[in-house]
Structure 1
Amino acid sequence: MVAGRSSQTWTVLFTRRNAVSDTMMSEKRLYAIVLRLAAMRRGALPRDHGDQARAALLSLIREGDSPLAKFLHDENIAKPYTISLVKGGKRGKDGASHFGDGDTADWRFTLLLEPAFEALWRKYLLNNRLPHVRIGWMHFAVVDAFVSGFGHADSGNISVDELIDRWTVPPDELSRRIVLDFQSPTAFNLGQDRETKAYRIRSHPDARTLFSSLRKRWVKLGGADAGDEFDEWVSQSVEQDAFHVRTQKVRVERRPITGFMGQVAYTVHGRDLSWLPYLHLLADLSFWTGAGYQTTRGMGQVRNIMT
């Protein structure tokens, strides 16, 4: 009975899209871009430079499409991009990354909106001269750019349809174990407490919280919503095993937030594999969307390292 339900669930999940939503989905493409930077002079980036990195990305987009950059900055919408902090330099006792003249670093961001990719990549980065970018007080030359997935493992692009096709397989052919590497502090905003009005932040790799958050991101991209039934299945069937995990406090918009970092294994137990393909899809999605709170300022950067 469980096996039959399992097969039916994943089949219905990936086919119950009407013609309009199917067309919209097929046009969506997700991009992960890595810029290879070289410091133009000596300087340092503070450990928490998410706000500065966000401003730098919007500045790059502004060069290709100023109205779009203004829209992304001003509108109160789910932002169609994520940003990683700059990786490079030498870590000082102050926690900052220090660069000498010409020292290189990698800076990754993802774009979940085709016009943003057009503005940034085709109109700006692919012209005859690569730009320079200012992040905080540091000025970097862009010496290379990766988006294919071949030149840099953290880059790539995929259509939403391709992502669906990758996981449209029978559940019993999939691994029950998923390992995610949370590469920057990750936390989940559970909303405001009704009485105290204080924001509730969860700094724990809880399976239900994580995959419910990713499910909602998938729905915003136009994907099928498995709803509360999926969340309940995760609660009943998925156990997390955190190893090599630590917490780190970061400052975002001048507010301290504690997040977790490290590798976490999520294992499905029991006979009911109903939502296993959907679980794998959401784990895969995290490479593009990040997970949790403030992914537009460097938090919640995730890699799926084993399925």
Structure 2
Amino acid sequence: MTVNASELTALVLSLKSLNTASLPATHGAMAYAAALDMIGRFDPALTVRLHDTNARKPLTVSPLFGPVRRGREVPLTAGQAVRWRLCGLNAEISAALVQAAIAGSGVRIGDAVFEIDGATTAVEEDADAGNDTFSGLLQATTEAPVEITLSFITPTCFRQRNFELPFPLPRLLWGSLLDAWNAFSPELIDETRYSIEDALYITNYIAETCRADLGNRSAVGFVGKFSYRVVNNYLPLRLLLNLLARFAFYAGAGWQTTCGLGQVRPYFR
């Protein structure tokens, strides 16, 4: 078990179910409540700030990975192993998540109770784990892939006025990632230098729509893979996309990333 905190931290917890229970197929709102509870055991004031703020939150939370969905439910049996991914987008949140993992206290998601059987932030131990800094991502982004593919592994949608759009148009996807970067990074990117809407296009995709339960409401999202290229191979924009794709590994994409939506994995070519 390798667990360290940084500015950007992807923590993967190995959980073992202590009871027989059933969760909604999309239980991200319950997972978010569980994450706040974990953080609150060590820093109650931080939990209150996270809960009360209307601003973008420096935390992303996945649903449980591993259990098999049956209809609209995810049944769990005592002793069943699952994985749960939590990402901190600043040093304070990352430290609180790691502290909770090291303490090894229990986790309750809905009616399901788990013990923490293992934890890691090392990508060598789990491909969904990781550690980085904003400056580290900037320094490492020296390559300019010709094509970037993003795999959206949980339902994803983008909020527009009073409705959700279940499709990652370039201006919505990359624009929202740029907004998230500038919300949390000490090193801001001047977005006026780039024309994302006019300079990007989708080369290939395979996707399907799905409905996500957000507790007091539901939303239509999508899962699948989308590939993007830059018109005329404009080098500065290719470098920016590389940076934002790597950031998306931690930040997720789109709306309600604290409630299990928008989990993203990038691939480069």
Could you state the TM-score of these two structures normalised by the residue count of structure 2? 0.92
* In the alignment, structure 1 residue 156 sits paired with structure 2 residue 130: yes
Distance 2:233 2:148 in 1: 17
The Cα shift of 1:116 comes to: 2.3
Structure 2 residue runs without a partner (length 5+): 1-5
Distance 1:223 1:215 in 2: 12
Could you state the TM-score of these two structures normalised by the residue count of structure 1? 0.81
Q: Contact 1:88 / 1:97 at 8 angstroms: preserved in 2?
A: no
The Cα shift of 1:87 comes to: 1.0
Q: Which residue of 1 aligns with 2:153?
A: 183
1:143/1:164 CA distance change after superposition, 3 Å: same
Number of residues paired by the alignment? 264
Q: Which residue of 2 aligns with 1:138?
A: 112
The structure with the largest alpha-carbon Rg is 1
Q: Contact 2:11 / 2:97 at 8 angstroms: preserved in 1?
A: no
- Which residue identity lines up with residue 148 of structure 2 in the other structure? I
Q: Which residue of 1 aligns with 2:101?
A: 125
Distance 1:281 1:229 in 2: 15
1:225/1:91 CA distance change after superposition, 3 Å: same
Q: Which residue of 1 aligns with 2:191?
A: 227
* In the alignment, structure 1 residue 166 sits paired with structure 2 residue 140: yes
The Cα shift of 1:158 comes to: 0.3
Match of 1:217 among 173, 180, 192: 180
Q: Which residue of 2 aligns with 1:64?
A: 42
* Cα deviation digits, residues 129-181 of structure 1 (max 9, x gap): x21100001001110011122211101110111100011x3xxx522100100
1:135/1:271 CA distance change after superposition, 3 Å: closer
C-alpha RMSD of the superposition:
1.7
- Which residue identity lines up with residue 147 of structure 1 in the other structure? T
The Cα shift of 1:242 comes to: 4.1
- Which residue identity lines up with residue 225 of structure 1 in the other structure? I
Q: Which residue of 1 aligns with 2:3?
A: none
- Which residue identity lines up with residue 54 of structure 1 in the other structure? Y
Q: Which residue of 2 aligns with 1:116?
A: 93
- Which residue identity lines up with residue 237 of structure 2 in the other structure? W
Structure 1 residue runs without a partner (length 5+): 1-27, 192-198
User: Where does structure 1 differ by over 4 angstroms across 4 or more consecutive aligned residues?
Assistant: none
Distance 1:271 1:105 in 2: 42
- Which residue identity lines up with residue 224 of structure 1 in the other structure? L
1:274/1:104 CA distance change after superposition, 3 Å: same
1:271/1:31 CA distance change after superposition, 3 Å: closer
* Cα deviation digits, residues 219-270 of structure 1 (max 9, x gap): 112332232441x2x2233211343211111121422211111010001231
The Cα shift of 1:117 comes to: 2.5
1:96/1:241 CA distance change after superposition, 3 Å: farther
The Cα shift of 1:97 comes to: 1.5
* Cα deviation digits, residues 77-124 of structure 1 (max 9, x gap): 2211001110122321x33121221010000010112222323323x3
Q: Contact 2:8 / 2:94 at 8 angstroms: preserved in 1?
A: no
Match of 2:257 among 295, 298, 301: 295
Q: Contact 2:146 / 2:233 at 8 angstroms: preserved in 1?
A: no
